[in-house]
Amino acid sequence: MYEGRPAARAGTGKDPVNLPMIRHWCEAMGDTSPAYEGPDAVAPPTMLQAWTMGGLCGHTARTGAYDEMLTLLDEAGCTSIVATDCEQEYLRPLRPGDEIAFDTVIESVSDRKTTKLGTGYFVTTRTDVRVGDELVGTHRFRVLKYAPSGRRRKPPPRPRPVVNRDNAGFWEGVAEERLLVQRCADCGTLRHPWLPGCNACGSLDWDTVESSGEGTVHSYVVMHHPPFPAFDPPYAVGLVELAEGVRMVSNVVGVPYDKVRIGLPVRVEFRRYEDAEGALTLPVFRAADGAAGAVGGEA
């Protein structure tokens, strides 16, 4: 469906063919040929593609079709790219001062293939390089856009909560997607985190109430550094005051990390994680709809 469509139209070289770039190329390649220096210097023919490169700032001539196709392949899991073939034909030498222009067409896209690197698609493009109206070279380029296999690194597992006999009831509640708060059986004071005794009266008797899950951000920090393998900084960690009055620490989601503010209304959400160590459910706090900067869906 993308075959035959242009990948770059009327691209122009960022620099005219010039001696300094030729010299840098020859230094890198260890090429001491006298043909590439002096007043009659030509460019090494194998530099053909280099004159078309976008460099650090990228291409400006790429068409929507090419980017759209790469995005589709990314979405199909083919996030890696490697060049596999390069076929160039040189019709006349390029000389300092030549201003090149180029058009690239997507010549073919293969069926999904299995390779040593992973499965993916070979995309072949052909670029015609011109100086003025004169065709000076053609350049056929093939890349494999693939989903890396085998050595693909799985995300490291999230750290697990430390569950002990004092707090086991809380985590059992979370596993059932219920946020349980301890309540003193004698004086009725609510407490969190879970503890064996009441801070207000010292009683060891307690029961639980299920929190509504509604709350507000009482305080927060944004984690930038150091990065921990299972997390993707920056992210916001909130101290959330629940409607029932106790406070709880967890991630604030559904809002950009830099839009978290004290007083932000939030509601508990139970997130399930599957990783190398199995399944895990954790309570996080999602910014309420309509809260400043809140975004729908995944944070």
For Zn ion, the binding residues (CB under 5 A) are: 184, 186-187, 189, 198, 200-201, 203
Is 265 a binding residue for other proteins by CB under 8 A? The answer is: no
**Between residues 29 and 195, which has the closer beta carbon with respect to other proteins?**
29
**Between residues 6 and 197, which has the closer beta carbon with respect to Zn ion?**
197
Residue 16-45 contact track with other proteins, rule CB under 8 A, x = bound: -----x--xx-xxxxx-xxx--------xx
Tell me which stretch binds other proteins (CB under 8 A): 82-90, 98-106, 233-241, 265-273.
82-90
Is 53 a binding residue for other proteins by CB under 8 A? The answer is: yes
* Residue 200 site contact among Zn ion, other proteins, none (CB < 5 to 8 Å, cut-off depends on kind): Zn ion
Site for other proteins in 211-230 (CB under 8 A): none
**Between residues 14 and 247, which has the closer beta carbon with respect to Zn ion?**
247
Q: How far is the CB of 170 from Zn ion (least distance, A)?
A: 18
* Residue 205 site contact among Zn ion, other proteins, none (CB < 5 to 8 Å, cut-off depends on kind): none
**Between residues 27 and 210, which has the closer beta carbon with respect to other proteins?**
27
Is 49 a binding residue for other proteins by CB under 8 A? The answer is: yes
* Residue 197 site contact among other proteins, Zn ion, none (CB < 5 to 8 Å, cut-off depends on kind): none
CA distance 296 to 230: 23
Single out the residue of 60, 63, 33, 62 nearest to residue 46, CA to CA.
33
**Between residues 130 and 192, which has the closer beta carbon with respect to Zn ion?**
192
**The residue type at 197:** G
**Between residues 50 and 239, which has the closer beta carbon with respect to other proteins?**
50
Q: How far is the CB of 124 from other proteins (least distance, A)?
A: 12
> How large is the greatest C-alpha to C-alpha distance in the chain, in angstroms?
98
Q: What residue ranges bind other proteins (CB under 8 A)?
A: 14, 21, 24-25, 27-31, 33-35, 44-47, 49-50, 53-56, 80, 82-90, 93, 148, 151-153
